[in-house]
C-alpha cells in the first residue's frame, strides 16, 4: 500500500456510517484528495481533531483501490471563527467549493490552497468584511487560473484613471466613462472599486489583503466579481445560492 504524507485543508467532511467521515482534502501537491477517516467522529478517536471541516492538518494517508484512508492527522490550524455565524460558514463553504473546482485530483494546487487559507484567516479573525473577502477570492482565483482581466486602461482611448469606469464582463476589459457612454453603457466601478480590483489582480501575494474599501465601492466590486465568475465558470456552484440568501 502506498503511503502519502501531506499538508491539507479539509474542504468537505460528510458523516458516513456510524462515526466515519468521508473527506475531501485540498493539498498543495495532489489537488483534492478523497479520503475516509474511519471512526473520526468518536471523541476518543486520534483522528477527531485533525479531520473536521476547515482543519488544516498534516495527514498520513494510505492509498486504497478507490480512495485514501487517513491513518493520522495532526492539526496545525483550525478556523473556529468560520463556524461562528451562518454568514461565515456559507462563505467558507462557497470558497472551498470554488477552490476544489480549480484543483483537480492529482494536480498541483499550491496557489489556490494558499489563497483559500488566507481568506479563511481573514474571515476567522474578522479582519475584512465577508463581501470583500469573497470578491478578493473570486478575482484572484480566476486570475491565477487563466482568466486574468485586462485592467490597465480604457480599451478605446487608453485613459487609465480619473473617473468611474465600466468593466465589460464578457470581454474582461475596461472602458472609461466617456467611451462607455458612446456605447450606451453606465460605469459600474467607481475609482476606489477599480483601484481595489487592480490591486487584487496584480498585487504580490504577500500584499493581497493590504487595502481597505468603503461600503459602496465594496458593493460595486462584489457585483462585478460575481458577474465575472458567472462568465468564467461552466456552471454555478451549489453553495452559491445559499450564500446569496445570507450575505
| Binder of Zn ion out of 157, 181, 230, 246 (CB under 5 A) | 157
Please check whether residue 50 is in contact with residue 74, taking contact to mean a CB–CB distance below 8 angstroms.
yes
Query: Which part of the chain contacts Zn ion (CB under 5 A), choosing from 87-95, 153-161, 205-213, 237-245?
Result: 153-161
Q: Which of 63, 163 has the CB closer to Zn ion?
A: 163
201 beta partners? none
Min. distance of Cβ 221 from Zn ion in angstroms?
20
Cα separation, 29 vs 27, whole angstroms: 6
Question: What is the closest distance, in whole angstroms, from the C-beta atom of residue 224 to Zn ion in the complex?
Answer: 18
Backbone angles phi, psi at 205, to 5 degrees: -50, -50
Cα–Cα distance list, 13 to 19, 73, 210 (Å) = 12, 14, 32
Whether residue 79 contacts residue 86, with contact meaning beta carbons closer than 8 Å, is answered with no
Residues 160-189 that bind Zn ion (CB under 5 A): 176, 179
Minimum CB–partner distance for residue 166 and Zn ion (Å)? 9
Q: For residue 242, give the H/E element and its range.
A: helix 238-246
3-class DSSP state for residue 163? coil
The residue (of 83 and 159) whose beta carbon lies closer to Zn ion is 159
Nearer to Zn ion, 157 or 185 (CB): 157
Determine which residue in the list 35, 154, 197, 213 makes contact with Zn ion, applying CB under 5 A. 154
Residues binding Zn ion (CB under 5 A): 154, 156-157, 159, 176, 179
Amino acid at each position: 500500500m502506498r503511503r502519502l504524507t501531506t499538508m491539507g485543508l479539509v474542504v468537505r467532511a460528510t458523516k458516513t456510517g456510524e462515526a466515519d467521515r468521508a473527506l475531501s482534502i485540498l493539498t498543495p501537491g495532489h489537488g483534492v484528495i478523497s479520503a475516509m477517516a474511519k471512526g473520526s467522529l468518536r471523541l476518543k478517536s486520534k483522528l477527531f481533531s485533525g479531520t473536521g471541516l476547515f482543519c488544516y492538518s498534516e495527514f498520513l494517508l494510505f492509498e486504497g483501490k478507490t480512495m485514501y484512508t487517513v491513518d493520522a492527522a495532526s492539526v496545525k490550524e483550525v478556523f473556529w471563527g468560520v463556524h461562528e455565524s451562518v454568514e461565515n460558514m456559507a462563505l467558507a463553504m462557497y470558497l472551498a467549493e470554488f477552490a476544489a473546482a480549480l484543483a483537480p485530483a492529482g494536480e498541483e494546487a499550491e496557489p489556490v490552497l494558499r489563497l483559500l487559507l488566507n481568506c479563511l484567516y481573514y474571515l476567522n479573525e474578522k479582519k475584512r468584511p465577508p463581501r470583500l473577502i469573497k470578491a478578493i477570492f473570486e478575482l484572484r482565483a480566476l486570475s491565477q487560473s487563466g482568466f486574468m482581466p485586462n485592467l490597465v486602461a480604457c480599451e478605446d482611448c487608453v485613459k487609465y484613471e480619473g473617473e468611474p469606469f465600466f468593466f465589460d464582463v464578457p470581454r474582461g476589459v475596461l472602458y472609461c466613462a466617456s467611451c462607455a457612454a458612446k456605447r450606451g453603457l453606465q460605469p459600474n466601478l467607481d475609482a476606489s472599486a477599480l483601484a481595489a480590483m487592480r490591486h487584487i489582480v496584480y498585487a504580490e501575494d504577500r500584499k493581497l489583503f493590504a487595502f481597505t474599501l468603503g461600503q459602496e465601492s465594496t458593493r460595486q466590486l462584489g457585483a462585478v466579481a460575481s458577474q465575472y465568475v458567472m462568465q468564467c465558470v461552466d456552471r454555478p456552484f451549489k453553495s452559491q445560492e445559499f450564500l446569496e440568501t445570507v450575505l
